[in-house]
Amino acid sequence: MAVETTGPLAGITVLEVGAFMAAPFATMQLADLGARVLKVENPTGGDPVRATGPFLDGESSPFVRLNRNKESVALDLKAPEGKEAFLRLVAHADVLVENLRPGAMRGLGFGYEALREVNPRIVYASASGWGQDGPLAALPGLDIMAQARGGLMSITGTPDGDPVKIGVPICDLVCAMYVALGVTAALKERDRSGEGQYLDVSLLESGVSFAIWEAGKYFATGEVGRPLGSAHQSTAPYQALKTADGYITAGAVTPKTWKGFCSALGLEELVDDERYATGSTRHAHRDTLIPAIEAVTTTRTTDDLVAALDAAGVPCAPIADYGQVFTDDHLNQRSYFWDAPHPTLGPVRQLGSPMRLSRTPARQDSAGPQLGSGTRAALEWAEIPPAEIDALIESGVAADPAHTSAPTPDAAPLPADDRPL
């Protein structure tokens, strides 16, 4: 049964064999852009995120947000009948995205070479901790390990402080974004060649790709970046500054904004100080510059400073917590947040898509699906006869909501060889 969607990727069908973050976040981007995403899950428990709290009437709050605009297909990929049904889905699909441990899909009989025989047009994307080959490939790799080995934790935090990871799982998330970008590029190339291809994206390389400033410094001078708190790597002032009641961030790095910054703070004497003539020299003399600035900013409130710097044309912003972010007037006026319908929870508040296309806007259809709620429709779309679908459901190889219990917080994890990354 065909499902009509809207958006620039309408007409594209994506199979997701994923869990936790990288593959699901990648396919969420594709779903937002109009692709039909069939999330293939184990009939028992499904994606482990379903068992991750907090819970709303038995449903995982993170899950219904991370898996919006998708359909859940509950199918046992280790059962012969489940394998055959999955291959029928592959034959009709455009894209497969997975983030199991390297080799796990091949072990199930679903490696790229095997699936290309079934569907030469398939675009097959794998997200993993370290990549599909190389000496680390077989090792488990989670976001924090990629942040560590990829250098991000070596520059995050304060000088001489303990190692600090970035507050969100940035390597998971940027890996997912590269997967989504690579998939769309491969689909575009397929329009010319008629053939699919394989895409290998790792958390490690995704994290290392962010090191633009650090690479520029190291490959030019051999200098290794170190943690600088909130400060920029090479110019100043560009950091958080303490105020009388909190913190602001400011970036006065051009001649015009530096003069405006000094004027707004009553520090005009700094403009003519040769130590602070350029962004680079100001950075070199941060040990005297920042205390001089904070001697003033700590006497003024955050709101007062933001108003003064805004009026002077200096880029600045207060540091907001997520309670403030999720109720932010600017975001609300831009209709960034939206409510997705869910069959048992009612409206579920969602983060919006940052991609604002003028003619084909991002979809705003549904919250994350109940386990197996799309099984029957997906198998019908794959041209499996109704009697065979009934048999798959009755045997437990497939499931729909009528035969599926709600997941519980202590649901069993995936077998070791199937765990993500």
Beta bridge partners of 341: 347
Amino acid at site 335: S
Helix (H) or strand (E) holding 14: strand 13-17
d(CA 370, CA 372): 6
What distance lies between CA 171 and its chain's CA centroid? Answer: 8
30's CB contacts (< 8 A; 6+ apart) are: 9, 12, 14, 37, 95, 97, 180, 183, 184
Q: Is 317 exposed, middle or buried (0-12, 13-18, 19+ CB in 10 A)?
A: middle
In this structure, are strands 70-75 and 59-60 parallel, antiparallel, or unpaired?
Answer: unpaired
Q: Could you check whether the bond before residue 255 is cis, i.e. omega within 30 degrees of 0?
A: no
Task: List the catalytic residue out of 76, 143, 172, 418.
Answer: 172
* N-terminal to C-terminal alpha carbon distance within the chain: 32
Active-site annotation holds for 418 = no
Long-range Cβ contact pairs of 2-5 (< 8 A, separation 24 or more): 2/381, 3/36, 3/71, 3/377, 3/381, 5/34, 5/35, 5/36, 5/363, 5/365
Amino acid at site 35: A
Instruction: Give 257-325 as a DSSP string.
Output: HHHHHHHHHT-GGGTT-GGGSSHHHHHHTHHHHHHHHHHHHTTS-HHHHHHHHHHTT--EEE---HHHH
Residues with catalytic function: 172
